[in-house]
Amino acid sequence: MISAEDIRHFPPSPGVYLMKDDSGRVIYVGKAINLKKRVSSYFRAGGDSRYQIRFLMNRVAAIDWIVTDTEKEALILENNLIKEHRPRYNLSLRDDKTYFSLRLDPREEFPRFTIIRKVPRDGARYFGPYASASAAREVLKELCRYFPLRHYPLKSCRQRSRPCLYYQLKQCSAPCFGRIAPEEYSTLVEGACLFLSGRSSEIVRIYRERMNDAAQRLAYEEAGRYRDLIRAMETTVERQKVAAVGGDSDVIGMASRGDMLQVSILFIRGGLLLGSRSYPFAWEMGGEEGLASFLFAYYDQEVIIPDEILLPIAIEGGDSLAELLSEKRGKRVSISTPRRGEKVALVQMAVKNAQSAALERERREEERGEVLEELQRRLHLEQLPARIECYDISNIHGTSAVGSRVTFRDGKPDKGRYRRYRIKTVGQADDFAMMREVLSRRFREHDPDDPPPDLIVVDGGQGQLGVLTAVMAELGMSGVGLAGLAKSRVAREMAGEEVVRSDERVFLPGRKNPVVLRQNSAPLLLLARIRDEAHRFAITYHRRLRGEAALASALDGIPGLGPAKRKALLARFGSVTAIAGVTLEELCSVKGITPALAGEIKDRLERQDRG
């Protein structure tokens, strides 16, 4: 174990330090303005009062350092080293795929809004974020009532013989058919952007001037359209109004509960509270370090960077982080800790959101623990089923047969432990033999990083459970709980129209009758959820293999048509059927498709169609 004496040679300079265990593996990466002062703080007299710090330091065998010229360079280097080593005690913030934003590229001919997940720096304008795709679609639907912009790609619009249905609904101005002048369409785009930016009062003022101008020109129909738009927007703005600061801000709140840190973000856009999001993660260090690590990890993703970030506590390196975010955004970004006024109230609101989310997470974890304890009692398991694996088979008459394994840890999906198996030894429709192959492959390979679970569930009744029991006996494995979950059956009464549904049934080894778990009880719902997830995972893989087989039968073997070109054709036209219906010129418009190759593709697909 390293001692305080070893630290006296550390330089008093900005840089990054790497803590390593006795095997030489990096377990923590940190940055500091003064390396010697920061690392020495872990070894101050009496030791650090935080249990997590003592727990970490007991595992540190060596500390390396890298000196940088500036604090900003240390921040960048720390982030790169965390990505490279993935240390056990650093914050792990997975890429959040549930954020959605509205994108508009003003460089397009007749720009339109699209819903996207990530926000690359590509020169387009982005608005959001929104919590879900449905929320983003609702905003877009409302927006098109006021600003009837184009809905579909320009090429597909121009392939039509007449404007789409949205034009009839007055939610599209049909610019691709010349129903609106380019200058007027640009005005709609400008108004939509101002509206999403929270500058509705400015739009109302502009539209009121245009309404008056149209009335003076006796263009009463045009004036009436502006009047209706003004009324609708004023109603919407009144409904959305909240007491908030102006501009675009992300307001950060933080709550610490044991070894967990909960961070909440309030999204303020144009002075309106657009939504919020909470992130829980395990954190062994102090709150200030955790918040700084979270901010860099979060804004290192492709997300919208606002004008201002408000924090509940000051962080070391805040100015350097603001400088980095300003460079990434291309506009100035400020990071501050407000002390008075409306901004303090917003930060307090974010902190309350974080505290509430932390309490709710603890409550759910307690409930999951109670469910697992009840499941242990009812299934007579030797140990708590903290880790559960479930297996399923998917095939059609033995073709494209696959098996799936899903893993749940503490009642939650552990997707890093999901596995897919392509059936290799069974050529006919024999689910029992396929299950035997999957289970044998799983448990014959002794992977120390993937030990056996506490409970194994198979999708099926006594037959599939018998296969599982036999495989475990052959391999000499004991101490693992085994169960089979059979789906409920649906039957119709012979004498009437009533539909009778049997209960979900849980079978155990050596027991003829199923265990009776109350329907809709938490333990049974957990087992059903795990079984359904295994079925979803298996059938998704099965469909993918069937699709690949269908593609291979249609396009494989054409000289000069490799995987990349096949993928490009499908991305452009959508399906093999659509490819068969396009012209040679359209095929040649795809990168890499020459006239000769296009002729080969058309000839092959026509021969298959005749066959």
* End residue of a domain, out of 240, 275, 309: 240
- Residues 172 and 287 occupy one common structural domain: no
Q: Which of the pair, 156 or 453, is modelled with greater confidence? A: 453
| Residue 115 near residue 100 (C-beta atoms within 8 A) | yes
- Residues 398 and 492 occupy one common structural domain: yes
Q: How does residue 308 score in pLDDT terms, banded at 50, 70 and 90?
A: very high
Strands of the sheet containing 26-32, edge to edge, are 26-32, 15-20, 62-67
Q: Which residues of 435-461 are buried (b: 16+ CB within 10 A; e: fewer)?
A: bbbbbebbbeeeeeeeebbbbbbbbbb
- Residues 474 and 591 occupy one common structural domain: no
Residue 546 lies in a domain: no
Domain that residue 333 falls in: 249-359
Instruction: Please give the DSSP secondary-structure letter assigned to residue 400.
Output: E
Residue 517 lies in a domain: yes
| Residue 230 near residue 212 (C-beta atoms within 8 A) | no
Show the CA angle centred on residue 177, arms to residues 171 and 178, nearest 5°.
95
pLDDT digits (tens, 9 = 90+) for 245-262: 567 899 999 998 777 889
- Residues 403 and 490 occupy one common structural domain: yes
- Residues 326 and 423 occupy one common structural domain: no
- Residues 129 and 233 occupy one common structural domain: yes
Rounded to a whole number of angstroms, the CA Rg of the chain reads 31
Residue 508 lies in a domain: yes
Residue 545 lies in a domain: no
- Residues 294 and 321 occupy one common structural domain: yes
Q: How does residue 49 score in pLDDT terms, banded at 50, 70 and 90?
A: very low
pLDDT digits (tens, 9 = 90+) for 543-598: 777 766 655 566 777 888 887 888 888 778 877 777 888 888 888 888 888 988 88
Q: What is the CATH number of the domain that holds 528?
A: 3.30.420.340
pLDDT digits (tens, 9 = 90+) for 499-552: 455 578 899 998 888 888 888 889 999 999 999 999 999 888 877 777 666 555
Instruction: Please give the DSSP secondary-structure letter assigned to residue 161.
Output: S
- Residues 265 and 326 occupy one common structural domain: yes
Show the CA angle centred on residue 238, arms to residues 233 and 239, nearest 5°.
100
Through-space distance between the first and last CA atoms of the chain, rounded to whole angstroms: 75
Residue 59 lies in a domain: yes
Residue 364 lies in a domain: no
* End residue of a domain, out of 240, 269, 290: 240
Q: What is the CATH number of the domain that holds 68?
A: 3.40.1440.10
Distant-in-sequence, close-in-space partners of 59: CB < 8 Å, separation ≥ 6: 21, 27
pTM reported for the whole predicted model: 0.67
**pLDDT at 310 > cutoff 90:** yes
Q: How does residue 4 score in pLDDT terms, banded at 50, 70 and 90?
A: low
Strands 387-396, 399-409: pairing kind: antiparallel
Q: Give the number of domains in the chain.
A: 5
| Residue 125 near residue 106 (C-beta atoms within 8 A) | yes
- Give the span between the Cα atoms of 21 and 35, in whole angstroms: 19
Q: Which residues pair with residue 354 across a beta bridge?
A: none
- Residues 186 and 106 occupy one common structural domain: yes
- Residues 224 and 111 occupy one common structural domain: yes
Give the number of other CB atoms < 10 A from CB of residue 389. 23
Distances (CA, A) of 438 to 38, 70, 468: 52, 54, 10
Closest CA to 483 of 453, 452, 462: 462
- Residues 106 and 67 occupy one common structural domain: no
pLDDT attached to residue 609: 66
Burial of 488 per CB tally in 10 Å (0-12, 13-18, 19+)? exposed
pLDDT digits (tens, 9 = 90+) for 597-610: 888 888 888 876 66
What number of CA atoms fall less than 13 Å from residue 315's CA on the CB side? 28
- Residues 285 and 191 occupy one common structural domain: no
- Give the span between the Cα atoms of 127 and 143, in whole angstroms: 12
Asked whether the bond before 129 is cis by omega within 30 degrees of 0, the reply is: yes
Residue 370 lies in a domain: no
Q: What is the CATH number of the domain that holds 331?
A: 3.30.420.10
Average pLDDT, the chain: 82
Length in residues, the chain: 611
Residue 451 lies in a domain: yes
* End residue of a domain, out of 499, 533, 567: 533
